[in-house]
């Protein structure tokens, strides 16, 4: 095989290899952006005998992701006593919830067991602030 043939083969192979590498990188970035875990978005669970904490999530904004992580970290301590929900602005229920309670990405509304909104919160600073918010308004 001469050098011209080797260069031609190399040139033809480099484009698909580069394309594949780019697709893998984009895929890895998108994978990292996926939610780590999920809470139900079923708002019919509010007022069903247990208090509920509802967070509004806008997937194109990064603040709500941090609040979601805080919710996940404290969830085991509250899962027997209350419901954790996340509604998304991409869904009509989430849009209606946002308008009704005047909340944005990462903000929370705490409901009592009958479904009455007790308190609204901006994005908590950390998991401990979230815990204090729940404890202060439910106990």
Question: Can you give the pLDDT at residue 116?
Answer: 95
Question: Can you give the pLDDT at residue 63?
Answer: 79
Q: In which residue ranges of the chain is pLDDT below 70?
A: 1-13, 28-37, 139
Strands (E), 11-130: 52-57, 83-88, 108-111, 117-121
Is the whole-model pTM more than 0.85? Answer: no
Question: Can you give the pLDDT at residue 87?
Answer: 94
Question: Can you give the pLDDT at residue 61?
Answer: 78
Question: Can you give the pLDDT at residue 102?
Answer: 94
Question: Can you give the pLDDT at residue 6?
Answer: 57
How far is it, in rounded angstroms, from Cα 65 to Cα 36? 9
Please state the φ and ψ torsions of residue 9, each to the nearest 5 degrees. Answer: -65, -45
Question: Can you give the pLDDT at residue 31?
Answer: 59
Question: Can you give the pLDDT at residue 76?
Answer: 94
| CATH architecture of the region 43-137 | 3-Layer(aba) Sandwich (3.40)
Do the Cβ atoms of 59 and 88 come closer than 8 Å?
yes
Dihedral angle computed from the Cα positions of residues 134, 38, 101 and 45, in that order, rounded to the nearest 10 degrees = -80
Query: Quick one: which of 105, 98, 138, 139 has its CA closest to 122?
Result: 105
Question: Can you give the pLDDT at residue 37?
Answer: 52
Question: Can you give the pLDDT at residue 35?
Answer: 52
């Amino acid at each position: 095989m001469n050098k011209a043939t080797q260069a031609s083969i190399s040139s033809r192979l480099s484009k698909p290899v580069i394309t594949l590498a780019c697709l893998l990188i984009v895929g890895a970035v998108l994978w990292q952006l996926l939610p780590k875990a999920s809470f139900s978005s079923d708002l019919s669970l509010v007022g069903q005998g247990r208090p509920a904490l509802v967070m509004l999530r806008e997937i194109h904004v990064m603040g709500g992701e941090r609040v979601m992580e805080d919710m996940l970290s404290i969830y085991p301590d509250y899962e027997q006593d209350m419901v954790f929900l996340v509604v998304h602005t991409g869904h009509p229920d989430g849009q209606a919830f946002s308008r009704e309670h005047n909340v944005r990405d990462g903000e929370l509304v705490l409901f009592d067991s009958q479904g009455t909104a007790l308190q609204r919160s901006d994005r908590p600073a950390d998991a401990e602030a979230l815990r204090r918010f729940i404890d202060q308004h439910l106990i």
